[in-house]
Structure 1
Amino acid sequence: MASSAVIVRHGATEWSVSGQHTSDTDLPLLPEGEDTARSLAPRLAGGDFAEVLSSPLKRARHTAELAGFPDAELLDDLVEWRYGSAEGRTTAEIRETLPDWSLWTHPTEGAETAAEVAARCDRVVERIRAASGPVLVFAHGHVLRVLTARWLGLPAQEGRLFRLETATISELGYERETPVLLRWNS
């Protein structure tokens, strides 16, 4: 049987609290983000994970460390969606000049497209499914939402349907042979 994945979004940063889009700006966790990351440790302890993967960005790496997984393998495919000229800006700010703007449908200058993020996530899904047991993944809001959509066989843009809070645990698995969402934002 194919494997499953426990996915964890990093703890809160200054920009995740303010609503600013954060891709490769390598922000640290806020003190409260560190606290919630630590609170994940007992919930993840005892998980018999075949692999532990993390985005190389410090907010995801530090969340993994504080949750008890300091040796997570760093995987570039888990870096957050690259937002281009939307980096550091809120949706409200962007919509002042582009009223219908959505990351999911209107990439900004220099940004990755949904298809490019999907290609990265497809490689992660393939790796999870090939693993000998459950895989634990630490990463970012939008990339994990695309990963979830791709796990379910949906287009990347359908990740818009999966709001994901900071420092939460979600699980991707199966009902019989069908990929499903087992839990979300827990």
Structure 2
Amino acid sequence: MNSKIFLIRHGETAWSLSGQHTGRTDIVLTAKGEQDARKLGERLQATNFNHVLSSPRQRARQTCDLAGLGGAAQIEPDLVEWNYGDYEGQRTVDILKMRPDWNLFQDGAPNGETPAQVSSRAKRVIDHLKSLQGNIAVFSHGHFGRVLAACWIGLTVSEARYFLLSPASLSILDYEHNNPAEPVIALWNDSEETWGFAD
């Protein structure tokens, strides 16, 4: 039996709402983020998880707790968000005024992580995930989650730019024909924001 990866981006924070890059800054969920995390928990109730992994950041751990899986969670340091260095707390629109051609997935961040460093982290996570069996819940972050998905299916970090990932979204990384040589994305960015599980 191969692993099926349920990739969950943390719920909304004040900075995800404002569009500020949130790497190492350890902030909590907004009230809406908490509500969406609980809704995620309702969706996940029908699934039995053999493993639960979470980024050490509060926003990911809080999402995991509110989704009802905190008691089983193991902290995985490699699941943290991209280190944005000098761009921490800044918005892309403002960075582009200084560097019109800047793209995180190609250029990384000054005094932060390079795309190669983030790719190495993602590949370490994938190796760990592949060593596990059964359903795995993974609570992580927007940009890192995009890189993780790209690496899962053999794409480059640069190509992760094409995978949007909303707060409190659920994605599933799986295998076609249950074959480890055929990794696929079975579900992507399913959330209330994209089409929904609103009341």
Contact 1:81 1:143 in 2 (8 A): yes
Q: Paired residue for 2:142?
A: 141
Q: Which residue of 1 aligns with 2:186?
A: 182
Q: Is the 8 A contact 1:4 1:129 kept in 2?
A: no
3-state SS of the aligned residue for 1:142?
Answer: helix
Counterpart of 2:4 in structure 1 is 4
Q: Which residue of 2 aligns with 1:101?
A: 102
Instruction: Give the gaps of 5 or more residues in structure 2.
Output: 191-199
Residues 7 and 171 of structure 2 are in contact (CA less than 8 Å); yes or no, is this contact kept in structure 1?
A: yes
Give how far 1:46 is off: 2.9
Alpha-carbon shift at residue 124 of structure 1 (Å)? 1.1
The one-character-per-residue Cα deviations of 1:100-144 (angstroms, maximum 9, x if unpaired) are 111111223211011111111111111111212121100100111
Task: Tell me the number of residue pairs that the alignment of Structure 1 and Structure 2 aligns.
Answer: 186
Code of the residue aligned with 2:150 in structure 1: it is A
How far is 1:56 from its partner?
0.4
- What are structure 1's unaligned runs of at least 5 residues? none
Give the whole-Å Cα distance in 2 for the aligned partners of 1:4 and 1:67.
Answer: 18
Q: Distance in 2 between matches of 1:125 and 1:32?
A: 30
CA distance in 2 between counterparts of 1:140 and 1:56 reads: 11
Instruction: Identify the residue that residue 156 of structure 1 maps to in structure 2.
Output: 157
Shift of 1:51: 0.7
For 1:184, what is the secondary structure of its paired residue? strand
Aligned to 2:38, the other structure's residue is in SS state helix
C-alpha RMSD of the superposition: 1.0
For 1:181, give the aligned amino acid. I
Which letter maps to 2:30? L
What TM-score, normalized by structure 1, do the two folds share? Answer: 0.97
**What do the CA deviations read for 1:68-106 (whole angstroms, capped 9, x no partner)?**
011311111000000001100001111111111111112
Which amino acid is the alignment partner of residue 23 of structure 1? G
- Matched with 1:47 is 47
SS of 1:185 mapped into structure 2: strand
Q: Structure 1: how far apart are the matches of 2:66 and 2:112? A: 31
Q: Please give the secondary structure, in 2, of the residue aligned with 1:63.
A: helix
- Report if the CA contact (8 A) 2:53-2:137 is conserved: yes
What does residue range 86-125 of structure 1 map to in structure 2 within 5 Å? Answer: 86-125=87-126
The percentage of aligned residue pairs carrying the same residue is: 46
